[in-house]
Chain A
Amino acid sequence: MIFATKENLFISYLKRDLVVSFRGKSASLNPLIFFVMIVLLMPLSLGSYSLALQKVAPGIIWIMALLSVLLSAGSIFDEDYNDGSLEQMIITPNLLFLPLLGKMTAHWISKSLPIAITAPFLGLFLPMPENALIPLLVGLIIGTACFTLLGSIGAALTVPTKDKSFLLALIILPLYVPIIIFGSSVIYYMADGMNWRYPLAALSSIFCILVVLSPLAISGIFRSSMIE
């Protein structure tokens, strides 16, 4: 019985947040549009010389995906904080683990996953070699999930502060280092003819650690700030 309630908590928060984000159409598309625009501006600053672009394209796409996810994940709790429903969630006797995981999953599906899916198409524009597109996609699907999980910790820490975008980047960017290293290595491994599943496995293990630790850390942050 208890198990059934908990499962419903995850599903219900996932559904609620998905509905909220799909009803407010334009806002949930903004990170994706930002990502597309900023990646397509890159050739204008780097020149259209295709060999040079080919070499830096994976790095560009990874860094820009990082920025887009960071910007959107920073405000994951803002709406709930402003209308008070975050407080209601915290004072319920339930463990916060599943509701938080549901919220983050919804955020990832509605805002980060579109970025990962669009990236290979942008890769064609830059241009990237066609056989690098699948590693890019797979790496970004796991990578954006990691970005969302870590970015939500930063969002939880900075919820009551104003003008938080730079502060959030400041505290979260150093933590993104392993993800960006392993994520972009997936493509460089493939380009060098090595087995790209090794960095992908490292990336997946980081994801597994984060999926357990991130909701725990966030619920600790919320519970301790509520005591005051």
Chain B
Amino acid sequence: MSSLKQFIRAVRSAKTLNDERGVIQKESAAIRASFREESGDSNVRRNNVAKLLYLFTLGERTHFGQIECLKLLASPRFADKRLGYLGTMLLLDENQEVLTLVTNSLKNDLEHSNQYVVGLALCTLGNIASTEMARDLFQEVENLLSTANPYIRRKAAICAMRIIRKVPDLQEHFIDKTKLLLQDRNHGVLLCGITLVTDLCLHDPDMVHEFRPFTNALVRHLKSLTSSGYAPEHDVTGITDPFLQVKILRLLRVLGKGDAEVSEQINDILAQVATNTDSTKNVGNSILYESVLTILDIEADSGLRVLGVNILGKFLTNKDNNIRYVALNTLIKVVAVEPNAVQRHRNTILDCLRDPDISIRRRALDLSFTLINENNIRVLIRELLAFLEVSNNEFKPVLTTQICIAAERFAPTKRWHIDTVLRVLKLAGNYVKEHILSSFIRLIANSAELQTYCVQKLFSALKADITQEALTLAGAWTIGEYGDLLLKGGNYEEEELVVKVQESDVVDILATILSSAYSSQTINEYIITALMKLTTRISNPAQIERVRRILQSYTDSLDVEIQQRSVEYGNMFGYDDIRTGVLEKMPPPVFKEVSRQFEQQVTKPKGAGKRGTKKQIDEDALIELMGGDAAPGPTPSNGGSQDLLKGMFGGGDEAPTSSSPTPQSNLSSIMDLFNTPSPAPVQQQNPASAMPSAAMSFSSQLGSMAQPAAPSGPAQLPVYDKNNLAITLQLQRTADGTVNIVARFKNNGFTDNISGVTLQAAVPKSQILKLQPISTAELSPDAEATQAMRVQGSKGPPLKLRLKISYTKEGAGEVVDLVNWTEPLA
């Protein structure tokens, strides 16, 4: 049997990882074998457990030795107990079943006559006590809390903390004795006592009141520490017991938070600590740092606050990166209360953006965002853009988002705003989130005076670089939409070169991107639509023919979406009379601060003419719903989850199906920004010409035709009845605001089949809708079908739904209807 030393040597002398594994496995087997022999010799057992702990340090499996550790605990020898408790703490945790076997040993040892045995037991309890152990042993710990021996008293205090954390109900047993700890003269006991009190107060606000009367005692302790002379036992480079000072400051913070009286009591001592502590060493700074945290958290007077912020300012100029780190970290908390004080250090903070240390950069970046306001936006954004240029990729998504949000909020001029976002797109176009892109496009669409500028800028940017996805998307959309402005040139301000752009150049660039390796599916979709729009904005027949050929080459694309677009667009060449109308410029969408809600998901812009053939019906359903330009044709009802996203109804004041004759002019939702109306004529039989125009109101109740009530269950509420197709909804609410809806379809006709029945629905943006597929899309006379939906987040009746119903009926052809439905109040 080798000794621990021999084993360690053997492991260390292994030449290769394989050798090492061999040594370890051999020894591990030997230890198991030795355990099985049940040697009564505790020296052997100790040797084995020690080796086991070495295995643990190496990250090996050690579960087979747990019981041996427990056997050591039961031994009367100190050496056995010492190693046994060490092993118990390392190899077990509160979730292990074996731990219950430890309780008895602990109970005995807590009452042992030797303080070190008691100490081992307390240490173990404090580190790994489970809930059961806490209940079983709290009385012993409570007794030990008032022993005369400070060594035991302090350990018992931390144990009490662990016990109360595990079983909060037990705290009342400890409170009285804990109060005594706060008056203890022994530093160790005081340290542990304060730790216990702080923990109590943090977990139970009532405890704060209980311990507030001790504020003065704590202040006295702190005062004596700061003013005492050299105390060798507790001295750390000239400062007396920094550990205790920090603990006291922290407890004072907890006690003083939100209490003017206590804050007043500790004002002076905080000022004293903040002024007198030596700031040349880390120790002193750790105390200063803690005192600043306390100053910022309590109701400190303004003079003290200024002092606190100034300390952070001084920290910021410290050469030590650690000190700068904590300063940056803490200033974030100050910005809200003392913005001007932090602004003063702006340049230093911006310098930290260039620090080689990523920890510093990360903190500085967070802080920089909070500093931006309308006065310094130009300077700060310039710095942040410079940082964006050199930053690690992991920073880029946050940076691009934050820069664009700040630009949107504080932009001094539209031109500046556009320039800023453009720069972001150029620098980090692959890290720009979708909602930033769509808000940029919205901005361009709304800035008629800058559209020429934008399209020229984007065009030249694309000529220089087509690797930045968001830039390409923005460029493709803008060139498609404002291609005529690009060709017209001119009125482009100042120093910029007015490049005369040829029609062939425009088609060239789009074609280049399309065939490049950087082109993603989304880019392809954008470009195909953009090319189609260009056909009405350019005049050279050769180029138009070229576009037609490009589109044609995609008619056999493996991607259904792209294939569909190119086929449909290709067909449009046959209808020149409507092509111009269909591809007319989009009305500017209503501005919406989508980007502020950056945490929310925003729908992915998708192209036109899509009827959800391949994918689950997603937001496109909505586009069609709102635009009312859906092409006729069977909409497959494969259904699927319909997670209609926020922002869909916020598009503004469109009246989707009102009297306007051209469908495309109705479009003004965000979605429609990306949506070219599809060519086919619209067949609408919508009775909703009086529909309210406010996007959010769905109150008009339509189609409330008579419908026999359901024989059982919740009432069947009529929704639609036309062409012999009757639809009713059955609503069932659950307690958590979920509404389960069953839609029933019935063909009331006698002879005619109804086929291709689909029902799509949308809800206000605060709610989430899930749509199941319809049971059958074909209804023979008198047949029925059902479709389940679920709405989450409904506050209560009345539920509002916007429904799109489409079907084909013999004799009536294709029918697409929109219904705004509100649940009738009973």
Judge: A and B partners, yes or no: no
